Amino acid sequence: MSEKTRVAILGASGYTGAELVRLLALHPHVRITALTADRRAGKEFADVFPHLGGLDLPTLTAIDEVNWDVVDFVFCALPHGTTQEVIAGLPERIKVCDLSADFRLKDTALYEQVYGAPHKAPDLQASVAYGLTEMYREQVRAARIVANPGCYPTGIQLALMPLLKAGLIEAEGIIADAKSGVTGAGRGPKEGTLYAEVTEGIHPYGVGTHRHGPEIDQGLTDAAGQPVVSTFTPHLMPMARGILATIYVQTAKGATADDLRAHLSETFSAEPFVRVLKEGQVPATRHVRGSNYVLLNAFPDRVPGRCILTAVEDNLVKGASGQAVQNMNVMLGFDETTGLMQQPMFP
Amino acid sequence: MSEKTRVAILGASGYTGAELVRLLALHPHVRITALTADRRAGKEFADVFPHLGGLDLPTLTAIDEVNWDVVDFVFCALPHGTTQEVIAGLPERIKVCDLSADFRLKDTALYEQVYGAPHKAPDLQASVAYGLTEMYREQVRAARIVANPGCYPTGIQLALMPLLKAGLIEAEGIIADAKSGVTGAGRGPKEGTLYAEVTEGIHPYGVGTHRHGPEIDQGLTDAAGQPVVSTFTPHLMPMARGILATIYVQTAKGATADDLRAHLSETFSAEPFVRVLKEGQVPATRHVRGSNYVLLNAFPDRVPGRCILTAVEDNLVKGASGQAVQNMNVMLGFDETTGLMQQPMFP
Amino acid sequence: MSEKTRVAILGASGYTGAELVRLLALHPHVRITALTADRRAGKEFADVFPHLGGLDLPTLTAIDEVNWDVVDFVFCALPHGTTQEVIAGLPERIKVCDLSADFRLKDTALYEQVYGAPHKAPDLQASVAYGLTEMYREQVRAARIVANPGCYPTGIQLALMPLLKAGLIEAEGIIADAKSGVTGAGRGPKEGTLYAEVTEGIHPYGVGTHRHGPEIDQGLTDAAGQPVVSTFTPHLMPMARGILATIYVQTAKGATADDLRAHLSETFSAEPFVRVLKEGQVPATRHVRGSNYVLLNAFPDRVPGRCILTAVEDNLVKGASGQAVQNMNVMLGFDETTGLMQQPMFP
Amino acid sequence: MSEKTRVAILGASGYTGAELVRLLALHPHVRITALTADRRAGKEFADVFPHLGGLDLPTLTAIDEVNWDVVDFVFCALPHGTTQEVIAGLPERIKVCDLSADFRLKDTALYEQVYGAPHKAPDLQASVAYGLTEMYREQVRAARIVANPGCYPTGIQLALMPLLKAGLIEAEGIIADAKSGVTGAGRGPKEGTLYAEVTEGIHPYGVGTHRHGPEIDQGLTDAAGQPVVSTFTPHLMPMARGILATIYVQTAKGATADDLRAHLSETFSAEPFVRVLKEGQVPATRHVRGSNYVLLNAFPDRVPGRCILTAVEDNLVKGASGQAVQNMNVMLGFDETTGLMQQPMFP
């Protein structure tokens, strides 16, 4: 490991870009050789994110100005819709972890329907691995391009996929009610994410129509071995980072909450980033803030035959940049936890 | 209306007590003649709640020291479990609106099971009206004692009861996922409600076991005309006041979200405090903050045959003190909106 | 008072516009006949501010479309720099309270220096009253146009002007360190006021250069009878509304904090909206939220000869829309507190 | 470094205890062998702080149960007043960093006056180093016991001491207006630090009387070579962690803000944790959150002869546990930055 892997972050001026820089600052095997942000090209990264002013980083450039000869690995944090062409144009020797939604849906026809535009790199799509690391580790290891999962699908799929695979819950009637921090909406100024509009309140959005619904169903369908259509309602709340998913399921085979918890515990027992809590312990988003952990638990419902699952994650870490680093570690053969052992920051 | 009704607030040192004082300050037909708080007896109200220091109010006393001769109406905001005996001991000519849970459940056996202690005034219970004003207005008008509903049950029942009565939704499979501000937990110091423990995070609590579950079911059962057991999960989030309930239902008779919204609109068309929003409008807790309004809407789900209902309220106003004043207005023959037309405070 | 005064709000789509509507909804002597917002013309007010959807209000129009025949009084909440011409063009019979900075500085040369553009209505300026109601009530009563004070100058001047007039503090060495909620920055989307950028942090801004500095000095100079140049540092903090000013002064004539407090108490003893707290009571912004109150107090410092004054207000009420209504009440001969007796909302 | 240093944390159930554990989790040269919390003895640390449930840690014990044979270094995070006796009773070979106020004031008579009780280990006091690392590094290196500075004094002294030493500012008329997060008040439940009491507001406290005043003056006096009495006003605001100090000074020798900034830059040029920003750059608490950095800057004031200094820190890191680890590193001969290079977490 004498030579460090040279990393470029495309679209580095957003929150996921900043979070990649924060995490990679403690990664011993990589160094950042390019940071792009077309509209801020020429600026120092610390002018855009002063909290990282203590690091020695390259100046922001336009994506056209990147010298790909000094790049071995690319994190692509560009907006949805712009990424397929960019990645298609990269030198083949460069491995890529893409944080956009552009390669997440395997079915390009579904992609077009959900995102409203034809897929621009359908040939690449077939070879892309879906980077929900704990579920698709071998595909990630073998892939040149990994599509990093959406923030909501990460926790929800980790809670449900093992239970569907084991037939412990019904494939019908799954409801995920998710509560998210505001960084999921990005750093672009919008009235709806102003402090005064968000503080001390909560509201749902994209009710019945959010684009992460089909992505969630893709994983659940894969796990269940039959088509799954789930209910998914995201909410925006006063919290910079974090996602809590409260998931309502019908159990199968007479399974109880204890059975579900036990199966999740066993499934994830060797996983460094997924912890299944003890009976009665309530997952809270603040217990994972700033870290790559996902916490899961299962609770019995008042209604016989139903259980309530909970999953928490930091949307910018396990839900984005942390899982991206985790995937890079797998793709490049590093220990999977490298650079990711920063503990949650509470309070 | 030459003589003002003389009002006592028992247990005035909590948040609901303060909120009663705030609202009654603009009520032209009442004046506050007694404020009790046993542990703070002898203090000025403004020492306990400095924000109301501009008002002319009686000094706090112990409940034993109240001169009932100068009291016509009592708001009882004492802790659960202590209220039944207090109210049983009041002079019969005094009307009462009780904000505790002590008289909410009509079935005293269920009360004992849920609250862990035998009911201490079962004879009174039979004559108590459940003060969900819009649903039980005539009972409220006729009652001497009104049990003010719990904060969660208020919005959830208002959204569901008309639909169950009309047979537009199934009585089975109802799931209410509720997100609450912190004032619902009261002003008593606890580690779990410290600022540093609550800010920037969310977690569920009382999963499958919260005491408002049976209260919700009581109303739903009454509306459906058959026993209803619903799923109810409350969450604690960084918000002083406000409740959002996101409610998942199965529709009946092929009803659509539009049908549900139309029926709710018609049901509440003459109600001053319940507003059914237009198609696609998202209720947000910040749109009712400080006011007695409840906002409702219905959305189609991705899953055929399901709909998503939303209800927002201010837990301290329509979910507690505001509805209590509304009930008092009905009980005393005042215009129902008197003192309650303060508009929501946003931002 | 059989006929209600017809009021127009120009620039109604900002936070101060919404706050004017909220307050006027409880004002018995006025009705709103025009609401303008050029970029949102044609929309319903409730589409822009859903929290006020319970009110019956005119549709938003462009300012050019207002029928001035049905307007008796104008609140002008337009951006700084655009207001002078608009007000100069209004029919003379219409009285005006202007919430912008355009008419606050009496010296038009100073205006040009501070705001970077020549004054466009210097003839009008001479007749404008500065609407710090408690200090300039008679001028307000006599004026056709009132310049509503800036949010920071309101509390700071109320704390200092009586003490300077009485010679109880030195005119030199005055330092005001102010902490403000975010609504002071308006509703226009900017990166710096996004939730994720503001929550859980604080920073100063405009250090040594904020435009409210000269406005503060104008009042202090008037009160002291000699030129005053004060130090003023505003800070942006995670709070939708509220301003706290912590003010450091040198006392004169051997005056103590008790002397200062006593003089402020006496000065404001008959004022409905200014309360001087008791010795040791700490003013907190939450104690005035949503109300038109200002709370003041004086504390002894560790350093002999110095005192610390504190002033709190709601920047959208006494610091903007509330004081504007207060000024309207004075200008139109209504009781000064009409529509303004809503008590602070805490928590 | 084959053998790790064995560390005990006394009083581990508070926020500073948790923060020590979080930071030491990434420290390669130490391992935690004892964690005490008298009232929680027998519990797992993760029961008290679930966010650190991913670590392998000793069970909490009472302090009496610690086996000192397996302890080389002690972090003492006990309440003020209880620490002097505890530390006096430790084996002499154990080095100690004390996070309480018990050993911060060199003058034991002043200690008694400020803290209201006689000093219980005056013999030890003489040998204690004051652990403001950048100012007293050599004393820290040589000491067995280091008194970790108070949160407020850390940033304020770092900003002022170099300027006083250089004679660039006057020793008179120094005013520090500080804004702090709530964790400074500890984890013990109190009404004043409940979420609903703190959110969306700000107030000063301990005006003119806060105990950190004399501690600040101790450092300033040392730097100035003459007695300094400064003005210090802390404020409590809705922020879990962070301190901003806005400091008002009179310059000496005709010095300008540029001169002050240049001198601070030069003074701290080799320091890993103190960064002096460029002209005009505004320090914000969010830019240091979770990290051991202090950011400083100097601004010209409107008033000739005055300047405004700003300092930000994370009160739990550089203001407590981070500086404690930094001091441990110096005391034990580790690289000073070991375990402390986690970058700030924003947003």
**What tokens does C327 get?**
């000024």
Compute the distance between CA of residue B338 and CA of residue C46 in angstroms, rounded to an integer: 23
Compute the distance between CA of residue B128 and CA of residue B236 in angstroms, rounded to an integer: 31
Identity of the amino acid at B344: P
Q: What is the CA radius of gyration of chain C?
A: 20
Domain D151-317 has CATH 3.30.360.10: yes
Residue A254 contacts by C-beta under 8 Å, 6 or more apart in sequence?
none
Q: What is the pLDDT of residue C1?
A: 45
CB burial readout D212-239, b (16+ within 10 A) else e = bbbbbbbbbbbbbeeebbbbbbbbbbbb
**CB–CB of A194 and C187 under 8 A?**
yes
**CB–CB of B203 and A244 under 8 A?**
yes
Compute the distance between CA of residue C321 and CA of residue C315 in angstroms, rounded to an integer: 9
Which CATH class, in words, describes the domain spanning B151-315?
alpha beta
Dihedral angle computed from the Cα positions of residues B39, B40, B42 and B43, in that order, rounded to the nearest 10 degrees? 170
User: pLDDT for B158-169, tens place per residue?
Assistant: 999 999 999 999
**What tokens does C107 get?**
């010296």
Compute the distance between CA of residue A242 and CA of residue A207 in angstroms, rounded to an integer: 19
CB–CB of A291/A343 below 8 Å? yes
Compute the distance between CA of residue B249 and CA of residue B174 in angstroms, rounded to an integer: 5
Query: What burial class does residue A197 get, using C-beta atoms within 10 Å of its C-beta: 0-12 exposed, 13-18 middle, 19+ buried?
Result: buried
Q: What is the pLDDT of residue A253?
A: 86
Closest CA to B257 of B286, B234, B277: B277
**Nearest residue in C to D199, CA atom:** C239
**Which residues does residue C5 pair with via DSSP β-bridges, in sequence order?**
C30
Q: Which chains touch D (3 or more CB pairs under 8 A)?
A: A, B, C
Compute the distance between CA of residue A124 and CA of residue B303 in angstroms, rounded to an integer: 31
Q: Which chains touch A (3 or more CB pairs under 8 A)?
A: B, C, D
Phi, psi of D227 (to 5 degrees): -65, 130
DSSP letter string, C177-235: EEEE-GGGG-SS--GGGBHHHHTT--EE-STTT-THHHHHHHHHHHHHTS----EEEEE
Whether B76 is catalytic is no
CB–CB of B184/B244 below 8 Å? no
Nearest to A275 among D26, D54, D289 (CB): D54
Collect all residues of chain C within an 8 Å Cβ-Cβ radius of residue B343. 21-22, 25-26, 51-52, 54-55
Closest CA to A217 of A259, A285, A161: A161
Closest CA to B201 of A160, C240, A344, D190: A344
Compute the distance between CA of residue B294 and CA of residue B154 in angstroms, rounded to an integer: 9
CB burial readout D246-271, b (16+ within 10 A) else e = bbbbbbbeebebebbbbbbbebbeeb
pLDDT in tens, chain C (347 residues): 459 999 999 999 999 999 999 999 999 999 999 999 999 999 999 999 999 999 999 999 999 999 999 999 999 999 988 999 999 999 999 999 999 999 999 999 999 999 999 999 999 999 999 999 999 999 999 999 999 999 999 999 999 999 999 999 999 999 999 999 999 999 999 999 999 999 999 999 999 999 999 999 999 999 999 999 999 999 999 999 999 999 999 999 899 999 999 999 999 999 999 999 999 999 999 999 999 999 999 999 999 999 999 999 999 999 999 999 999 999 999 999 999 999 999 99
Compute the distance between CA of residue A176 and CA of residue A51 in angstroms, rounded to an integer: 35
| Residue C142, H or E segment | helix C133-142
Q: What is the pLDDT of residue C2?
A: 57
Tell me the pLDDT of chain A averaged across its residues. Answer: 97
**pLDDT-flagged residues of chain D (< 50):** 1
**What tokens does B121 get?**
């005034």
- Residue count of chain B: 347
Closest CA to D26 of A339, A24, A316, A53: A339
Which CATH class, in words, describes the domain spanning C151-314?
alpha beta
- Angle CA(B338)–CA(B339)–CA(B344) in degrees, nearest 5? 120
Collect all residues of chain C within an 8 Å Cβ-Cβ radius of residue A186. none
CB–CB of A75/A10 below 8 Å? yes
Nearest to C342 among B289, B293, B342 (CB): B342
Collect all residues of chain B within an 8 Å Cβ-Cβ radius of residue A238. 200, 237-239
Compute the distance between CA of residue A180 and CA of residue A319 in angstroms, rounded to an integer: 11
- Picking from A177, A193, A230, A307 by the largest number of B CB atoms within 10 A of its own CB, the best residue to mutate is A177
Instruction: Report percent pLDDT > 70 for chain A.
Output: 99
B76, B97, B151, B307: which one is catalytic? B151
Residue B225: left (phi > 0), alpha (psi -120 to 50), or beta? Answer: left
**Nearest residue in B to A207, CA atom:** B299
Q: What is the pLDDT of residue B253?
A: 85
Chain B and chain C share a number of CB contacts under 8 A equal to 85
The domain ranges of chain B are: 5-150+318-332, 151-315
CB–CB of D128/D92 below 8 Å? no
Q: Report the first-to-last Cα separation within chain C, whole angstroms.
A: 36
Q: Which residues of C touch B (CB under 8 A)?
A: 15, 18, 21-22, 25-26, 49-55, 183, 199-200, 240-241, 275, 277, 281, 284, 286-291, 293, 341-347
CB burial readout B299-320, b (16+ within 10 A) else e = bbbbbeebbbbbbbbbbbbbbb
| Residue B297, H or E segment | strand B294-300
**CB–CB of D52 and A344 under 8 A?**
yes
| 3-class SS of residue A261 | helix
SS3 content of chain C, % helix, strand, coil (to 5): 35, 20, 45
CB neighbours of residue C69 within 10 Å:
8
Strand B30-36 relative to strand B5-10, pairing: parallel
Compute the distance between CA of residue C120 and CA of residue B73 in angstroms, rounded to an integer: 60
- Picking from A195, A198, A286, A346 by the largest number of C CB atoms within 10 A of its own CB, the best residue to mutate is A195
Query: What's the Cα-to-Cα distance from A6 to each of A38, A72, C299, rounded to whole Å?
Result: 20, 5, 59
Residue B238 contacts by C-beta under 8 Å, 6 or more apart in sequence?
A200, A237, A238, A239, B182, B198, B199, B200, B201, B202, D195, D199
- Picking from D22, D24, D341, D343 by the largest number of A CB atoms within 10 A of its own CB, the best residue to mutate is D343
Q: Give the distance from residue A296's alpha carbon to the nearest chain C alpha carbon, in angstroms.
A: 26
Compute the distance between CA of residue A220 and CA of residue A170 in angstroms, rounded to an integer: 11
Q: Give the distance from residue A156's alpha carbon to the nearest chain C alpha carbon, in angstroms.
A: 24
User: pLDDT for D217-227, tens place per residue?
Assistant: 999 999 999 99
- Picking from C40, C195, C197, C316 by the largest number of A CB atoms within 10 A of its own CB, the best residue to mutate is C195
CATH topology of domain D5-149+320-332: Rossmann fold (3.40.50)
Q: What is the pLDDT of residue A201?
A: 98
Q: What is the pLDDT of residue D1?
A: 45
Is residue B11 predicted with pLDDT exceeding 70?
yes
CB neighbours of residue B206 within 10 Å:
16
CATH code for the structural domain at B5-150+318-332: 3.40.50.720
Q: What is the pLDDT of residue A1?
A: 45
Q: Give the distance from residue D210's alpha carbon to the nearest chain C alpha carbon, in angstroms.
A: 9
**What tokens does D107 get?**
């003058």
Residue D230 contacts by C-beta under 8 Å, 6 or more apart in sequence?
C302, C303, D174, D175, D176, D213, D216, D217, D220
DSSP letter string, B47-73: HH-GGGTTS--PPEE-GGG--GGG-SE
Q: Tell me whether domains B5-150+318-332 and B151-315 share a fold.
A: no
pLDDT band at B2 (very low <50, low <70, confident <90, very high): low
pLDDT in tens, chain A (347 residues): 459 999 999 999 999 999 999 999 999 999 999 999 999 999 999 999 999 999 999 999 999 999 999 999 999 999 988 999 999 999 999 999 999 999 999 999 999 999 999 999 999 999 999 999 999 999 999 999 999 999 999 999 999 999 999 999 999 999 999 999 999 999 999 999 999 999 999 999 999 999 999 999 999 999 999 999 999 999 999 999 999 999 999 999 899 999 999 999 999 999 999 999 999 999 999 999 999 999 999 999 999 999 999 999 999 999 999 999 999 999 999 999 999 999 999 99
Collect all residues of chain A within an 8 Å Cβ-Cβ radius of residue D275. 53-54
Identity of the amino acid at B272: P
Strand C145-147 relative to strand C129-130, pairing: parallel
Nearest to C54 among B54, B199, B343 (CB): B343
**What tokens does B8 get?**
């006592």
Q: Give the distance from residue D110's alpha carbon to the nearest chain C alpha carbon, in angstroms.
A: 15
Collect all residues of chain B within an 8 Å Cβ-Cβ radius of residue C342. 26, 342
